Chain A
Amino acid sequence: MSTELTAGPMAGPIRWRLGRGQIEILIALLAMLPLALFVLYPLWTILRESMHHPDGHWSLDYYDLYIRDPHFRQTIFNTLNVSFWATMATVLIAFGYAYALKRTQAPAKWLWHSVILLPLFAPSLIQALGVQFLLGRNGVVNRYLGTDIDIYGFWGILISNVLYGLPHAYLVLMVALSGADARLYDAAKMLGAGGFKRFLSVTLPAAKYGILSAVFLGFAINISEFGNPMVLGGDYNVLATEIYNQVAGQANFHLGAVIGVLLLLPVLVAVVAEKWIARRQSSISAQATPYRPERSWRLDGPMLLFLGGVAFIIVAVMGVVIVASFTRLWPYNLSFSLQHYRLDVPGGYGALWVSLKMSLMAAAIGVVVATIGALIVQKLSSRLRQVLYLMSVVPAAVPGMVLGLGYVMAFNNPSIPVYWLYGSILLLSLCTVYHYHAQAFLIATTGLKQIDNGLQEASQTLGAGVLHTTRHVTLPLISPAMINIGMFYFMHSMATISALIFLVAPGKTPAAVSVLLLNDAGNWPQAAAFATIIMVTIVVAIALIRVLVWLGSRLMAWPQPRALQTI
């Protein structure tokens, strides 16, 4: 009797806890399996392909072959060289821009902030097209100033990559520069420090980690950028275009895999470094007095010129693409014409429908995958949580070219059970979902963290089960984050090229890839028209979602999104 009494209450919880542990592993597997299939397996396939010979033995011969070839060594040097200088220029300009907006009283800040974010709303190679229309062989500058600038090569890649990377670096540096403690500036002033000394001893140390973070982020973006070197690279070979040439041009999959691994390594290092540094960015203490810059035209004036100059270049480069798309024959005949919007090429407007279909699917799948991933990570115990977290953010370190190549190698294989996916629009969507999985997952995680834990606990103490709590408390509260994720995926799916370039099939070519192919075929007026259509589609879609959200929050008491993120 007495043993029963003591054993009774003990046995229950133990059995329940074991059951819970098993359920936990099952749930974790539910989240991990798709990540394993759509991220790790393609990467593994590339690694295998780079070392596995047709006769079955494993060796580093392909690497050896590659490294020995002076042409390939030059490619590696080119990649590092142009990425390094583009990163330096990007971070320098983005820092100046963020500094002008955060630390001076330069007027019309909202305008400058909006302009620098514009490149996020367009296919990445819009910059390359714009630079080509301005400075290229048939660009306005050479045409009307009689100059003979040859933009193709190092400078073309540099300029277009800088323009593409600016908003990314800018957003990181804005955060780094917004944590200013006015009291330190006061202390420095009282001790006799002049403006420049204060900049060196207060501003820079506080922004140090943010700057390093922007450097590594910029490097990762630059080294994996594909569209810009494709359009403006000329003879200046870089790894991202080299993969494409080897695989699409010469069907040399082994060499493509080797380059893929070589491209993956520096990006992996840069992304890990960026994450490590970002964690060290000291958050500003609660007591800190926010810094309010004073009006001083000696600083504000030059800063305004700088902002205006950078913004002008961004608008000019993107704007020239739009203008060129409406002219009869840029730059020779500038009369208005809609002929390029006929898109009388194979695919034509069909590509836009492919893109829309793919992007909507990616948005829907992405919202579900990222939200469920974040929910599961939050509920797991520590070790499983770490594994799943790591798997979820790995894609941030995988260049699109590498992921796309992995998809081709992994899924174009009749012996795997999901072979039916190959050649479908669904696979394009999945590729995009997992390409941007890290960012979407982090938006969802941040959204979840903002929910007061007490609310979920309150629901549970009121007798609700986990599922009930999730459905009636957690999901409604993170719906703003889910809307952000949907918008994020839609934008990126419409604009991305790199991961999809290997996966296109006749009739299944998304619009952004069509732009690249059209330009490659020398049909750049139609490329411009198509790029413009993509931009307009993205902007209209986002405006539509915002209006719907606004209406929803007015009419149906949906939770108001805190801040709709644009990236």
Chain B
Amino acid sequence: MTTHQAADFLRLSGIGKTYHGTPAVRDIDLTIAAGESVCFLGPSGCGKTTLLRLIAGLETPDAGHISLNGADITATPPRSRHFGMVFQSYSLFPHLTVGKNVAYGLRCRKWNAADARRRVLEMLDLVQLADHIDKLPNQLSGGQQQRVALARALAAQPHVLLLDEPFSALDAKVRGQLRADVRELQSRLGITTILVTHDQEEAMAVADRIVVMNRGQIEQIGSGPEIYHAPDTAFVGRFVGDMNVLQVLGDTEGRLMLAGKPLSVNEAVRPGCDRVGIRPESIQLVQDAIGPNHFQASVLKTQFLGKQTRLDLLLDGQEIQVDVYGLRDIAFVPGDLIPVFLPPNEIRPLNEH
């Protein structure tokens, strides 16, 4: 396997693709290091699957270049890229046994019979399906089929492993197990991996780095904690967890005002910023509305959810949600006025694209 320790093992520059006049992805610039595990995260229709298929060579970009190890592969057909891919629907050949499915890519790549047989056994051992080598795909469960697909994708030692929503057809329990298996395999083999998903939890569990996408563009790139705790945009904040977005007044020196009071924020605020985000669990209920970042809010609705209670409040004419943990006897009635505190270190000034 040609593992290249460069930080720009796989490089996308200026990638764009349009279907029937509608751009599916635009101006994508991204570099992926060798051995890294990257996840494309976004809602359906955000272009993440298109981007993966462009990398795979199953689609051809209208603009931009893709290079692998410094070599331009933009026009290389998929079978010459030598990438492994796992699909949402397993896509095993229904008429071939498990063993023959795994051997398929090896035969295409002209491995000799003995090496191929050894490799198939090795791969099936790796995914713990060696006993099922002579079964047909429809004799296996969904999770088993997807493990066969994984073995098949990895058998010919591809440069990059591409996973297109590989867990979403599975039920929750199998999904969690397989997710852990993939993460384990990936770090053991050190193979560069790209995962596409719309599930933030999955992204956090499998990827070193998450690329959040929206409307064909990259919104933010970062590690799981970075994306969660420091979202750049309202979209990222809302897509990865819940986030209250508040309209504020900003001046040219980066000072912010909310409900006629100054709002202090730990992070540097760019001039012109007029929106801030804060997560529901970060807002605190306090005794009075006196002091910095203390505000009076009125209750719209309370919902008891077990370990937390969710309050819908109206602050400065804007709806916000607050999650309160550990309090037993919350007896607010709609219309009650309650003071809240927005901790300066939890407030995130938001940028817009």
Known contacts A184-B93, A192-B82, A197 near B108 by CB under 8 Å: yes
Is B152 at the interface (CB under 8 A from chain A)?
yes
- Chain A stretch 498-552: residues in CB contact (< 8 A) with chain B: none
Q: Given A191-B84, A192-B82, A192-B156, 19 more contacts at CB 8 Å?
A: A183-B87, A186-B56, A186-B58, A186-B85, A187-B93, A189-B77, A190-B84, A191-B79, A191-B153, A192-B79, A194-B79, A197-B108, A201-B104, A202-B93, A205-B93, A282-B94, A285-B89, A287-B89, A288-B89
Separation of A61 and B59 alpha carbons in the complex (Å): 71
Residues of A within 8 A of B104 (CB): 188, 191, 193, 201
Separation of A367 and B57 alpha carbons in the complex (Å): 54
A287-320 vs B, Cβ < 8 Å mask (1 yes, 0 no): 1100000000000000000000000000000000
Q: When the two chains form their complex, are residues B89 and A191 in contact, meaning their CB atoms are under 8 A apart? A: no
Is B105 at the interface (CB under 8 A from chain A)?
yes
Separation of A492 and B84 alpha carbons in the complex (Å): 54
Residues of A within 8 A of B156 (CB): 191-192
Q: When the two chains form their complex, are residues B94 and A187 in contact, meaning their CB atoms are under 8 A apart? A: no
Residues of B within 8 A of A192 (CB): 79-80, 82, 105, 108-109, 156
What is the interface of chain B, defined by CB distance below 8 A to chain A?
53, 56-58, 77-80, 82-85, 87, 89, 91-96, 104-105, 108-109, 149, 152-153, 156, 162, 169
Taking the closest CB of chain A, its distance from the CB of B302, in whole angstroms, is 41
| A-B interface pairs (CB < 8 A), number | 70
What is the interface of chain A, defined by CB distance below 8 A to chain B?
181, 183-184, 186-194, 197, 201-202, 205, 208, 282, 285, 287-288
Residues of B within 8 A of A287 (CB): 89, 169
Taking the closest CB of chain B, its distance from the CB of A220, in whole angstroms, is 27
Across the interface, A189 reaches (CB within 8 A) one of B79, B93, B94, namely: B79
Most buried by B among A187, A197, A287, A288: A187
Known contacts A183-B87, A197-B108, A201-B104, A190 near B93 by CB under 8 Å: no
Residues of A within 8 A of B91 (CB): 181, 183-184, 186-187
Across the interface, A190 reaches (CB within 8 A) one of B85, B89, B169, namely: B85
**A-B contacts, 10 listed (Cβ < 8 Å):** A183-B89, A186-B56, A186-B58, A186-B87, A191-B105, A192-B79, A192-B82, A192-B156, A193-B104, A194-B79
Q: When the two chains form their complex, are residues A189 and B58 in contact, meaning their CB atoms are under 8 A apart? A: yes
Taking the closest CB of chain A, its distance from the CB of B266, in whole angstroms, is 47
Residues of A within 8 A of B105 (CB): 190-192
Across the interface, A191 reaches (CB within 8 A) one of B80, B152, B169, namely: B152
Closest 8 CB pairs of A and B: A191-B105, A192-B108, A187-B91, A190-B85, A205-B95, A192-B79, A189-B78, A183-B91
Q: When the two chains form their complex, are residues B79 and A187 in contact, meaning their CB atoms are under 8 A apart? A: no
Looking across the interface, which residue of chain A has its beta carbon closest to that of B138?
A282
Most buried by B among A189, A194, A287: A189
Q: When the two chains form their complex, are residues B108 and A191 in contact, meaning their CB atoms are under 8 A apart? A: yes
Looking across the interface, which residue of chain A has its beta carbon closest to that of B149?
A187
Taking the closest CB of chain B, its distance from the CB of A37, in whole angstroms, is 46
